[in-house]
Amino acid sequence: MDRALAEFSARGYRAASINNVFDPGQGVSKGIIYHYFASKDELFLACVEECFQSLKAYIQDHFHPDGRAVGTGECLTDYFEVRMRFFRENPLYQRIFMEAVFMPPEHLKADIMERRRPMEQLNLEILEELFSRLPLRGHLDRENTAKLLIQFINFINLQDRGVELDLAGIRQMEEKNRQILDIFLNGILER
């Protein structure tokens, strides 16, 4: 998997080749790869899944919205800082994540969304927890509000096809998502 992660990270899905993944010197033959993965698509999806699983586990281990980060802003800042730290510490996942979120191969979009689902569920739980601390307007409930916010962020993310597929692009995306959350929670008018 490490060689596959390195290949997709370096070249992206479209330019990556299974021929660059196998390494007979390390006992990884092309036949072994095809035994476990029927195609480049399956191998890429396995890398995408590992990326999202690793990100989710990292957030669960490092993000604890306890009494220390009482304010909404501080809680969101902590959350985005944890995500950025993950990508700084795990550079092989940067391009895979960005490609999966911003430029998924058209024929793999549904499969990628399926692999993103556990991470999306964690984001939903974090937002619901955050909303449980806030006085929502009477007709709003935290679950539906969190779902709507995630749908909105995902829609905005799909519009950004020109973003760099590296740490700078992730930083840009995270800052935009932080602004979206701020606008969503606080509006745009000065009070």
Domain ranges in the chain?
45-186
pLDDT attached to residue 70: 53
User: Mean pLDDT, to the nearest integer, of 8-14?
Assistant: 94
The more confidently predicted of residues 144 and 67 is: 144
In the predicted structure, residue 14 carries a pLDDT above the cut 90: yes
**In angstroms, rounded to a whole number, what is the distance separating the alpha carbons of residues 99 and 47?**
11
Task: Give me the chain's average pLDDT, please.
Answer: 85
pLDDT attached to residue 66: 67
pLDDT attached to residue 122: 95
CATH 1.10.760.10, domain 45-186, yes or no:
no
Q: Provide DSSP, 13-62.
A: HHH--GGGT-BGGGTB-HHHHHHH-SSHHHHHHHHHHHHHHHHHHHHHHH
User: Mean pLDDT, to the nearest integer, of 29-38?
Assistant: 73
**In angstroms, rounded to a whole number, what is the distance separating the alpha carbons of residues 104 and 178?**
22
What's this model's pTM, rounded to 2 decimal places?
0.84
pLDDT attached to residue 46: 96
